[in-house]
Amino acid sequence: MKIGIGSDHNGFELKEAIKEFISSTEHEVVDYGCHSCNAVDYPDVAFDVSKAISEGDLDRGILICGTGIGVCIAANKYPGIRAALAHDTYSAERAQLSNNAQILTMGAQIIGDELGKKVVESYLNAEWANGSKRKVDKIIENENKFLRDHYQEAAAGNQCS
């Protein structure tokens, strides 16, 4: 699999450890930044990884910030993306098995390097097998309906009278 990884400055050191771990496996890793401890806004990195997944350039993504919450919220704002926050192996596995989450998020101020590697390993080893498909389909249908309705309203508002 081709895995995108990204973080803000708070997650930089954990990102580097996770990137090294993924590189030691059969997976390919693509680093979307940040590339130092200099301040970076996490939504920018989350949107870049989400876009790459949406466009089919990546199979999955891993995003890291201080708590994992900010990157999770940002990634979930990107149409078609399901990001899940996990700091334990069971939740990481279920993110994929039950919810087909394309992105795993973690908090560097919450989880250490070694546990982070185990969480990522659980997530990457899990394969979506239509677990909770009915529920995931409802999420997708609702998102698509919202986007359709929103664009129809926007188009109607832009018509000349």
In sequence order, which residues have a C-beta less than 8 Å from that of residue 150 and are 6 or more positions away?
none
Known catalytic membership, residue 65: yes
Give the other-Cβ count within 10 Å of 52's Cβ: 17
Distance CA 117, CA 89 (A): 10
Paired with 5 in beta bridges are 31, 62
Beta-strand runs (E) in the chain = 2-7, 28-31, 60-65, 83-85, 103-107
Which residue of the set 37, 65, 72, 160 is catalytic? 65
Residues with catalytic annotation?
A: 65
